[in-house]
Amino acid sequence: MTSVGRHATASGSWGLAVWWSRLRAARPSATWPGVVLVLVLFSAAFFGNALAAAHRKPFWHDEIFTILFARLPSVATMWRAARDGLDFMPPLNAVVTHALRYGVGEGPIVTRIPPMIGVWIACLALFAIVRRRSNLVLGVCAAMLPLWTAAFHYAVEARGYGLMLGLFGLSAFAWSEAARGSRRVTYLPLLALSLAGGAWSHYYAILNVAPLALGEVVRDIRRRAPDWGVWVAFAVAFALMLPLYGLAGSALAHTARSWTLVEPAGIRDTYSSLLAHLLDARVLGAAALLTLLGRLMRVTTRARSCRGTGESADSTGRRRRKPLWSGRVRAALRPERGGGSRLGCAPGRLGGQPAQ
C-alpha cells in the first residue's frame, strides 16, 4: 500500500473508532452500529487502495504461471498439470482463479481478487480477536497491523500467499472462538477446513498448525483436561492435507532448477523482508501511541460506568460525589480478585447497581 493509502486507512478508521468509543461511553448499548460503520470505512479504504494498485501493476513472472494454470479446461486437468510440475504452488489459488475466469473473465483486477479477499479476511480476523478482548480502538489497530507489513504487497499478487494469510487468520479466529465455547459446532469444522485450506494454498502453511497447537497445549494445561474437539479438528485438517503429499514431492523434485532453493536460511530472510516495515521508528511510535490511547479509553469508560458507586452524603445530608479516582474506582482498576473483573466495577456491583 502506498504511504497515502496507509495514512488514509489508518487515520479514517482509527478516527471513527475513537469517535464511536466516546459515544459508546455515553451510550453503552450502542455497539454494533459503530462496529459496522468502522468496518465499512476500513474495507472501503482497503479495497480502494488494493483495486487501484492492482489496476496499475502489470503481471510479473510468477503471476503468469497462475494465469496459465487457471486457463486449463478443468480441475482434473489442473491436477495432472500440477503433478507434472506446471507450478510449484498447491492448486487452490489457481482453482479459485479458474472459477473466477469462467465466471467474470480475467484481468489485472479480477485475477487478483482471491489474494485481496484473503488479506482483507486476515485483517478482519485480527479485528474480531482483539476487539472481543479489549475495545474498538485496539481492534482497529490490530486490523491495520498487516497493512504495515509486506502483506499488502501480496494482496495484489495473483499467487497463493494472500489466500494463505486469510485462511490462517480465519483458523486463528475459529480456534479462539471454539476455545471460548462459542458455537463449537460451527467453529471446530471451520478450524479444520481453514487450516487445511491454508496448506492447499501454500505448502509452508502446514506450519500454521504449530502456534495454534502450542496455544492449545497451554490451554489444556490450565484447564487440566484436553479439549478433544480441538485436537480432532487438528487431526481432520492433517487428513485433508494428505492428497497434497504427491504434489509436494513433485514440486520439491523440480525446485532444483528453481532460482531459489528451499533451505533454513530462507526462513530468516523471509521474515526480515515481510516485517522490515514494522521496525521503522515511526511505525513503532505510532503503534505505542495508539495502544496507549486505546488502553486509556478503556480505563476511562470503565471508570465512568463505576461513578455510580462513588456517591456519599456530607454532614448536612446533601449528596456529594467522590472524585473520579476515589478508592472504589482505584479498586475497580486493580487486577481481578475474588469475583471482580479486570478493569471492571467493584465485585458484586455493575454500574453502581447490585449485580443480579
Phi-psi region of 233 (alpha: psi -120 to 50; beta: other; left: phi over 0): alpha
Classify residue 305 as exposed, middle or buried by CB count within 10 Å of its CB (0-12, 13-18, 19+).
middle
CA atoms of 344 and 129, how far apart (whole Å): 20
Q: How far apart are CA 83 and CA 24, in angstroms?
A: 55
| pLDDT recorded at residue 290 | 72
- Distance from first CA to last CA of the chain, Å, rounded? 50
Domain ranges of the chain: 3-290, 321-356
Higher-confidence residue of 228 and 1: namely 228
Lookup result for grid cell 474495507: 43
Q: Which residue has the higher pLDDT, 168 or 343?
A: 168
Check residues 181 and 315 and name the one with the higher pLDDT: 181
Taking the alpha carbons of 130, 179, 90, 251 in that order, is the dihedral positive or negative? positive
Give the C-alpha separation, 152 to 5, whole Å.
11
Using alpha carbons, select from 97, 81, 77 the residue that is nearest to residue 247.
Answer: 81
Please give the backbone phi and psi of residue 317, each rounded to the nearest 5 degrees, phi first. Answer: 90, -10
Alpha-carbon distance of 306 to 28, in angstroms, equals 13
- Tens digits of residue pLDDT in 319-355: 444 444 444 434 433 443 434 333 344 444 333 343 3
Which of 258, 263, 343, 339 lies closest to 306 in space, CA to CA? Answer: 343
* Secondary structure tally for the chain: helices H, strands E: 16, 4
Report in angstroms the alpha-carbon separations of 327 from 16, 61, 253, 297, 301.
33, 66, 69, 20, 17
Cα–Cα distance measured from residue 261 to residue 99, given in angstroms and rounded to the nearest whole number: 31
H/E run at residue 281: helix 281-305
Residue 148's nearest CA partner among 37, 284, 289 is: 284
How far apart (Å, rounded) are the C-alpha atoms in residues 198 and 324? 50
- Phi, psi for residue 321 in degrees, rounded to 5: -100, 135
Out of 44-58, 99-113, 252-266, least confident range: 252-266
**What is this structure's pTM?**
0.72
β-pairing verdict for 311-313 and 319-321: antiparallel
Q: How confident is the model at residue 296 (pLDDT cuts 50, 70, 90)?
A: confident
83-97, 124-138, 224-238: which has the highest mean pLDDT? 224-238
What's the pLDDT at 304?
Answer: 64
* DSSP assignment string, 50-109: HHHHHHHPPP-HHHHHHHHHHTSS-HHHHHHHHHTTS-SS-SHHHHHHHHHHHHH--STT
Q: Is the confidence at residue 97, as pLDDT, over 70?
A: yes
- State the cell numbers at 251: 514440486
17-21, 91-95, 178-182 — which is least confidently predicted? 17-21
Counting residues of the chain whose pLDDT is more than 90, the rounded percentage is 44
* Residue pLDDT, tens place only, 7-39: 445 544 555 555 445 444 433 333 778 888 999
